Amino acid sequence: MEAFAEAFESLRPALYAVAGRLVGPNDVDDVVMETFLKAWQALPRFRGGCSLKTWLYRIAHNCGVDILRRRDRRKEQSLSQGEEDAGAEMDLPDLRQRGPDEIVGAQDGAEWVQAVLQKLPAEHRATLLLRFADGLSCREIAAATGVSVGTVLSRLFYGKRKLRRLIERTGVNGVK
């Protein structure tokens, strides 16, 4: 139990970073706590086929994807309920889809980068961040996300291409 607590404390900042980039600041605590709860429950089945860090990244990724799916389902339910209420107006902003005017207004360069990254598909964004922000190898990313190394390479290639196009469209710090 002490070893698990030490691993929790040493890897918690990295898991917060990964989870935060995947689900955003509102759900990051839920993802990290769910990750460690699931890891604790699955610890007897951990055979060491990969590093503990990679194993925890995989669990965190899966927990984050679960939260994103739940978020999308709630949004769909809200929209379908809104259709039943013909006269009711609904304002459901999608915070992941920021408009160009919001990007132009962003003062902080980090905020602009985050806004551009949010426009990428989730699998490309996660793969790019695991590679370049967290420094994982392609093999570690494959283990953490449950896809093949070839898929990781493809996601890196197409993710960088899409990111480059988004940057060209919006310009540096939103100024073209």
CATH code (residue 103): 1.10.10.10
Rounded distance between C-alpha atoms, residue 132 and residue 134, angstroms = 6
Q: Which pLDDT band holds residue 93 (cuts at 50, 70, 90)?
A: very low
Q: Which pLDDT band holds residue 78 (cuts at 50, 70, 90)?
A: low
Average pLDDT over residues 38-58: 85
Do 76 and 114 belong together in one domain? Answer: no
4 found inside a domain: yes
pLDDT in tens, 112-169: 777 888 888 888 988 998 888 888 888 888 888 888 999 999 999 999 999 999 888 8
Rounded distance between C-alpha atoms, residue 77 and residue 89, angstroms = 15
Nearest to 15 by CA among 43, 57, 50: 57
CATH number for the domain harbouring residue 33: 1.10.1740.10
Single residue among 92, 122, 143 that ends a domain in this structure? 92
Do 123 and 157 belong together in one domain? Answer: yes
pLDDT at 108: 57
Rounded distance between C-alpha atoms, residue 159 and residue 63, angstroms = 22
Do 6 and 80 belong together in one domain? Answer: yes
Domain count across the chain: 2
Do 101 and 137 belong together in one domain? Answer: yes
Single residue among 92, 116, 143 that ends a domain in this structure? 92
Single residue among 92, 123, 138 that ends a domain in this structure? 92
Model confidence pTM above 0.85: no
The residue segments making up the domain with residue 166 are 95-170
Which residue(s) pair with 175 in the sheet? 172
166 found inside a domain: yes
